[in-house]
Structure 1
């Protein structure tokens, strides 16, 4: 299985577990909030690099 496929399977499993444990809205808040928080914790130069990459290059 490719790295992207594995990531998708893990993300779906995490979503199912979060929905089961906490309910819909808290799970959505976690699933959206964690990547946003991680992005906000980057330096401005790191953010610039991430914005400049295509989705295909992010996995490499």
Structure 2
């Protein structure tokens, strides 16, 4: 299992645990923030930088 997969699984577990500790709306904000921050960061890249990020992902798949 890759490191990125472990981080995603840990994030989902923490998100569900916050549902029991915090009010539901605060948990929803935490989960949405965890999804929105990387997406916003990706969208802030130039088209050439996005191509490099996609190329890195394809390179790792074959390794």
Output the TM-score relative to the length of structure 2. 0.50
Which segments of 5 or more consecutive residues in structure 1 lack a partner in the other structure? none
Alignment length, in residue pairs?
57
User: Which aligned runs of 4 or more in structure 1 are off by greater than 3 angstroms?
Assistant: 10-21
- Cα gap change, 1:34/1:18 in structure 2, threshold over 3 Å: closer, same or farther? farther
TM-score when normalising by structure 1: 0.52
Contact 2:15/2:27 (<8 A) preserved: no
Determine the C-alpha separation between the residues in 2 that align with 1:14 and 1:37: 21
Partner of 1:47: 50
Q: How do residues 1-60 of structure 1 correspond to structure 2 at under 5 angstroms? A: 11=11, 15=15, 20=21, 22-24=26-28, 26-52=29-55, 53-54=57-58, 57=60
**CA RMSD for the aligned pairs?**
3.2
The 2-side partners of 1:17 and 1:33 are apart by 19
